Structure 1
Amino acid sequence: MDTSTQPRILVIDSYDSFTFNLAALVLKATPNAKLYIIKNDELPFDELSTFLPYFSAVIVGPGPGSPLYPNDVGVVKHLWHVASDILVPIFGVCLGLQSLAVEHGATLKRLNVVKHGQVSAISHHGAEIFEDVPNNCLAVRYHSLHVDITNATAKLEELAWSDDGMENGRVVMGLRHKFKPFWAVQYHPESVCTDSNGVSVIQNFCRLATRWWASTKKTRIPWDRAATEKLNHAAWPHRSTPRHLSYNVQKLPVCTRIISHLNLSSTQVAEALGVNESRDDFILLDSASSPGRYCIIGSLHKHSQRISYHAGDSYLVHSQFCDSAISLESTDFWTWMSRFMTFFDHWVGDPRIPFWGGFVGYINYELAVKELQCGLKHRDAESKQVAPDANLVFVERSVVIDNHTGNISIQSLSFDDDKWIEEVACALERTATVKTHSMSRKAKYSPEIQYPDRELYISRVKLAQEYLFAGESYELCLTARTHIKVPKDIDGASSSSWELYKRLKEVNPAPYAAYLRLGSTTLASSSPERFLSYSRPPNQKLQLRPIKGTVRKGADVTFQEAERILRSPKEIGENLMIVDLIRHDLHGVVGQNVECEEFCSIEEYETLWQMVSVIEGEPSSSTPEKSNMQLGWEMLQRSLPPGSMTGAPKKRSVQILQDLEDDERDLYSGVVGYWDVGGAGDWSVVIRSCFKHDERVFPAGDSMLTAKDGNQFDEWVLGSGGAITALSDPVAEWEEMMVKLKSVVRAFNP
């Protein structure tokens, strides 16, 4: 590589969900390099070609689709034919290799057996990019297409291959162009399960590029104003100066009283605070089983600040003493929230308590999809629902229960709230004295349940697999909705949403459960999956815990049997793909400091065995602390919708899923949680859950009519699904979906 100055490397992203992993690997291989990342359609090739001489090398990343389709590869197909005066060394990965090959005469074919998230031994002769790399090194493959170079040997040379035996035979895994400085691999050197030789291959490419620059005696064009104006935005890793700095104000203590002797459950505390005495808004984030620890209960009042937003709107609604429409013409929902939160960061509380006060609520799937620049296929102006896509309330008064120590912390952000704290403490003392058990009441109704159509779902699984075989995605999380109608308040409290939540908690206790009443929306969740948590600065840490792989517990399903099932190539592949996707999301926000702390650990829950991985990241030491106040919120924005609920690559998978599914997902597949005034946050994925909207909107000419279903029925919606891979059995996928679904349906006492 041209080393007369700091190496500059251009990475071409074909809308993949692993690109930042590859960028991090490149910087690990060449720590002094400066990286720039652009999309494959960001610049017309005529314009991009003028900037190629600024760079020491180009990395062509992976992506969905086929090298035969111009919309999938964009400018990549033209890179392999540049004139000699702007020629630079290029390294391709996956789609990059396929594009290099077909542009020089190779034939593109489908694999007989798809390799998505599968580890293979890579054979090679130890030459070129494989110099000093052990033979039969292990690498992860994500491809359903491959190349046959039989008719292209005049220009291309095979460097590596995988022997798939009876499945696919010999498959090209590495190539070089015989006359130009082009190299490529079919596998993914950046995957978490590719061995340490992934970085060695990148280092070898950089060494070959350096030799090429020396042999040609060419030099790069010095970086100038034109390059700065056009490409500086693409520098990576990059964190801008904090956009919203707080004023230098004195920190105020959070008013806190800790009670350590009451031994009350979260449901007892919620009832002491009046959850079942009215229909007013209420929030409970409930750690109902291990590994969850803290329960957070918000004590809301009529003047609590509320933020609601519908995806695509040019305004949000801020409610306190009245509803105010706030224009977003010069900003967006996420930036406005980030700015708004800086007005509340002057409190400091007990560092042992994870939540001092702040925003609590949900962000649904459709808002997350909108952030990917995907259209909302199942929504138009006439079908817009009353319930917002983002629904958050600012909690000033809270009660936090530590399930490990039994401590109950009563907190307020109000300056002089001793009277309220005393009232709550007395109410909790009375509850402990009376020793109420807060057991749920059995429902006295027969619900009307509309399950998904079995044959339709199985057919959609098969159609999803066709997309996978064609290279459009590696994994698709296909879902369907169940509708349950129950009589409204037919027997008083026993049919209320709170009683439903208590039954759900009893039949399916979960570490990230939640009960929310916010406006017209009620959510009862028994989620086992933490999506994203982030600690307070300084020394901030961000953690994601994706779940992929589920086995129902039973008398004949021991831990050893569950482990045997969950350690299959299919289940490991499902989890691996999401781990790599999440690593990409995290790298995109914090830079290089990302680690997979646990890979495919098996955790025991009340009714299920689940396979869980843990990925953590930390901001670089150069990131200002005040910027870190918004870091977790930025990560939430950049990582939604949860990869475990979409598949990978994320954007293409979401687009496909909207064609395969008949309805909006709404709260299902979204997230629920909090953003604390100290900069911490914790969000779970809305799965194993049910929700309802008390109001519905129906089109009537040019107007919208609101109906309440005659005040006779509540209609609850339950989402469920599973990750479809090339190895999936369609019938087994239906059965797994029903297992997950019925863990919630049981709460309705059918």
Structure 2
Amino acid sequence: MITQVTDVAVFKQKALAWAATFDTACYLDSNSFNDPYGKFDTIIAVGAKAELTATAGDAFAQLSEFKKSNPGFITGFFGYDLKNETEQLQSNNPDHLNFPDLYFFAPEILISARENTVEIIGENEEEIWMAIERLSFSSGTQKAAVNLQARFSRDEYIKTVEKIKNHIIRGDIYVTNFCQELYAEDTEIDPLSIFKNLNSLSPTPFSTFFKWNGNYMMCASPERFLAKRGNKLISQPIKGTARRDADDTVDKTIIEELRNHPKELQENVMIVDLVRNDLTHSAKPGTVKTEGLYGIQSFKQVHQMVSTIVCELRDEVSAIDAIKNTFPMGSMTGAPKISAMQLMEQYERSKRGVYSGAIGYFSADGDFDFNVVIRTLLYNSAKKYLSFQVGSAITYHANAAQEYEECLLKAKAILEVLGGKR
């Protein structure tokens, strides 16, 4: 069923509220960002006619079989700790969320919106349309403030960054992404209201509301991990962050400072080199190229430095193998990749889980698109445990105190939505 709507923003809000009443739902919103590789404004997948839950070991192989059995649209996520399947690594840090390493489902109902055109695929499409239209529009409110605790104090964070920099000085690594967890125990939230408010406060091109088995992800990610369009792979790592300013003149100055900041340029180009190397495992020889270097994207909360790397996919490499060949994404690991992941396992205090992983979809035409799970709240409603992780790139030139402030800048929107203290 294809129909036109007069106000797509209101329809999206109603459709999201309707989808959230189901046990399993995924809402992917591009927030109308101008993306040459985007294929939709919004996709909503509801109800699981088939689902896959897997742990590191043979998760990618299981997904390949699941995809063959469900050749249409499927959506789900890859957890960061699938690194233990792609490399000889371990994850020994505490895990308080207990999310799986991989979860995908084939939806019973699929809704897509592009501009003012809405398509509904599923049984009883007219009834679905009427059920959505009958809902009243509500922005939603999270009534009680949530106070987050931190796994690192500011002093502990700074001391740890200095230890990591010693590894860089010794030549163990060149750059790494060091992450810390903020969390709340025994807390009850309204995930839908929090996501709506987060998406309003910090609209990004890879926003996601994901719900399954009483677990929730409320994501305001600005970053694409990997997409496939025809035989073309696209990766767009983000490295380099600067604050926004209400004064246009000051804001433009901040952009220029970011564009020419030695440390930000250094960390960006190192990750670009890493991604280029990762893509060679899937690419036709000679096709890996940097389509855009040091691009600046401005979001409501921050400016980001984004580079675009592309290649042509070899015929014998499957879509899932292309993801496996580049996972986890370089922007969340470091270089050399394996050494950086080993060291972060040593210095971080929480299992990353879905954070630093990817959420997205495989479409029926063979394409796919996955984000990087950052700026994301994760919630286990059975355990009443809320988690939010944030990280920054550590290089030789990194200033530990400034990196701590960058973490707070990245956390700003989520902290504001929760309305609590830390």
Question: What aligned pairs does 1:534-545 form with structure 2 within 5 A after superposition?
Answer: 534-536=228-230, 540-545=231-236
- Secondary structure of 1:654 counterpart: helix
Instruction: Give 2:25's aligned residue.
Output: 282
Deviations 1:496-548 (A, max 9, x none): 11111111111111110101111242100000101111124xxx211001000
Instruction: Name the amino acid aligned to 2:181.
Output: R
Question: What aligned pairs does 1:136-535 form with structure 2 within 5 A after superposition?
Answer: 257-265=1-9, 266-271=12-17, 273-275=18-20, 277=21, 280-291=23-34, 293-301=40-48, 304-312=49-57, 332-345=58-71, 357-378=72-93, 386-402=98-114, 405-412=115-122, 417=123, 420-430=124-134, 436-441=136-141, 443-451=142-150, 452-485=152-185, 487-488=187-188, 495-535=189-229
Aligned CA RMSD, in angstroms, stands at 2.0
In 2, Cα distance between equivalents of 1:617 and 1:511: 22
Contact 2:83–2:89 (Cα < 8 Å) also in 1: no
Instruction: Name the amino acid aligned to 2:117.
Output: N
Instruction: Name the amino acid aligned to 2:391.
Output: G
CA-CA distance at 1:677 after TM superposition? 2.6
Deviations 1:681-717 (A, max 9, x none): 110001001102234xxxxxxxxxxxx4xxxxx3210
- Secondary structure of 2:89 counterpart: coil
Instruction: Name the amino acid aligned to 1:574.
Output: E
- Secondary structure of 1:533 counterpart: strand
> Which segments of 5 or more consecutive residues in structure 2 lack a partner in the other structure?
none
Deviations 1:421-465 (A, max 9, x none): 12123334545xxxx443122x32232221331011111111111
Instruction: Give 1:227's aligned residue.
Output: none
In 2, Cα distance between equivalents of 1:288 and 1:484: 29
Q: TM-score scaled by structure 2?
A: 0.91
Contact 1:369–1:654 (Cα < 8 Å) also in 2: no
- Secondary structure of 1:334 counterpart: helix
Match of 2:406 among 718, 721, 736: 736
Contact 1:309–1:333 (Cα < 8 Å) also in 2: yes
Taking a change above 3 Å as real, the CA distance of residues 268 and 579 of structure 1, as seen in their structure-2 partners, is: same
In 2, Cα distance between equivalents of 1:468 and 1:565: 23
Taking a change above 3 Å as real, the CA distance of residues 688 and 291 of structure 1, as seen in their structure-2 partners, is: farther
CA-CA distance at 1:577 after TM superposition? 0.6
Instruction: Give 1:601's aligned residue.
Output: 295
Deviations 1:459-513 (A, max 9, x none): 111111111111111101111000134742xxxxxx4111111111111111101
**Paired residue total:** 410
Taking a change above 3 Å as real, the CA distance of residues 694 and 368 of structure 1, as seen in their structure-2 partners, is: farther
In 2, Cα distance between equivalents of 1:421 and 1:559: 48
Instruction: Give 2:239's aligned residue.
Output: 548
Contact 2:25–2:47 (Cα < 8 Å) also in 1: yes
Contact 1:370–1:376 (Cα < 8 Å) also in 2: no
Contact 1:603–1:612 (Cα < 8 Å) also in 2: yes
Contact 1:447–1:486 (Cα < 8 Å) also in 2: no
CA-CA distance at 1:749 after TM superposition? 1.8
By relative contact order (CA 8 Å, sep 6+), the higher-ranking structure is: 2
Question: What aligned pairs does 1:50-89 form with structure 2 within 5 A after superposition?
Answer: none
Taking a change above 3 Å as real, the CA distance of residues 370 and 546 of structure 1, as seen in their structure-2 partners, is: same
Taking a change above 3 Å as real, the CA distance of residues 274 and 577 of structure 1, as seen in their structure-2 partners, is: closer
Contact 1:298–1:399 (Cα < 8 Å) also in 2: yes
Contact 1:358–1:396 (Cα < 8 Å) also in 2: no
Contact 1:364–1:669 (Cα < 8 Å) also in 2: yes
Instruction: Give 1:128's aligned residue.
Output: none
Match of 1:567 among 251, 260, 264: 260
> Which segments of 5 or more consecutive residues in structure 1 lack a partner in the other structure?
1-256, 313-331, 346-356, 489-494, 696-707, 709-713
Contact 1:446–1:486 (Cα < 8 Å) also in 2: no
Deviations 1:10-38 (A, max 9, x none): xxxxxxxxxxxxxxxxxxxxxxxxxxxxx
Taking a change above 3 Å as real, the CA distance of residues 430 and 726 of structure 1, as seen in their structure-2 partners, is: same
Contact 2:96–2:385 (Cα < 8 Å) also in 1: no
- Secondary structure of 1:448 counterpart: coil
Deviations 1:234-284 (A, max 9, x none): xxxxxxxxxxxxxxxxxxxxxxx221233222222222x342x46x22211
- Secondary structure of 2:8 counterpart: coil
Contact 1:377–1:658 (Cα < 8 Å) also in 2: yes
Taking a change above 3 Å as real, the CA distance of residues 385 and 498 of structure 1, as seen in their structure-2 partners, is: closer
In 1, Cα distance between equivalents of 2:186 and 2:219: 18
Largest Rg, 1 or 2: 1
- Secondary structure of 2:75 counterpart: strand
- Secondary structure of 1:726 counterpart: coil
Contact 1:445–1:486 (Cα < 8 Å) also in 2: no
Match of 2:311 among 581, 601, 617: 617
In 2, Cα distance between equivalents of 1:561 and 1:729: 18
Q: TM-score scaled by structure 1?
A: 0.53
